[in-house]
Amino acid sequence: MNQPPYELDVRPILRDGGEPFSAIMQAVEALAPGQSLRLLATFKPLPLFQVLGARGFQPAAREIGGGDWEVLFMPVDAAPSSAEQHPAVPDSTQGDWPLPSIEIDCRDLMPPEPMVKTLEAVEAIAPGATLVALLPREPRFLFPEIETRGCLWRGEQQPDGSYRIVIRRGEGTGAA
């Protein structure tokens, strides 16, 4: 099928401090068979690569200036084979961890819901898999809970005061 890509510009949502994940998923659901998604964002949406990869899409990303990115998510069976169209994921952001399979946004929830929702998501992912949680603040009480479940984490404060944490579930370990 040679349909033009479905275009979605989430830059206004991101600039207003919003979370575009649901809009992106709605766009993916609206795609015709074989149709690609052209996404415009204010950053390279690396976690989305894994999420849409699990749905059969391959990303081709390029910076378009001003820190903005264009990512074309192509159905795997329709993706061109050019190496230029298949950018590698930088190791500097993910290291040896797999890309997150889930991203949850808990920034608008009241305590203890961000912690509860994050721990539920940790329990739902496969051993060795990672998830991203966006939290309203640094989750000091969450860190030991993650570690007692045999998981590792990486986190960073965001410019808006929220906290982004990537959690990797331990392989073959259960709760301590």
pLDDT > 80? residue 55: yes
Q: What is the pLDDT of residue 80?
A: 45
**What is the C-alpha to C-alpha distance for residues 159 and 35, in angstroms, rounded to an integer?**
35
Q: What is the pLDDT of residue 2?
A: 63
* Of 10-19, 42-51, 79-88, 133-142, the least confident: 79-88
Reduce the DSSP state of residue 70 to 3 states and report it: strand
Q: What is the pLDDT of residue 26?
A: 93
Please compute the mean of the pLDDT values over residues 111-129 and round it to a whole number. 89
Range 26-29, long-range pairs (CB < 8 A, 24+ positions): 28/52, 28/55, 28/57, 28/73
Helix H or strand E encompassing 40: strand 37-41
% of residues, the chain, pLDDT over 70: 85
pLDDT > 50? residue 86: no
Q: What's the chain's average pLDDT?
A: 82
39 beta partners: 8, 71
pLDDT in tens, 11-44: 999 999 888 989 999 999 999 988 999 999 998 8
pLDDT > 50? residue 84: no
Structure pTM? 0.46
Helix H or strand E encompassing 27: helix 21-30
Q: What is the pLDDT of residue 92?
A: 36
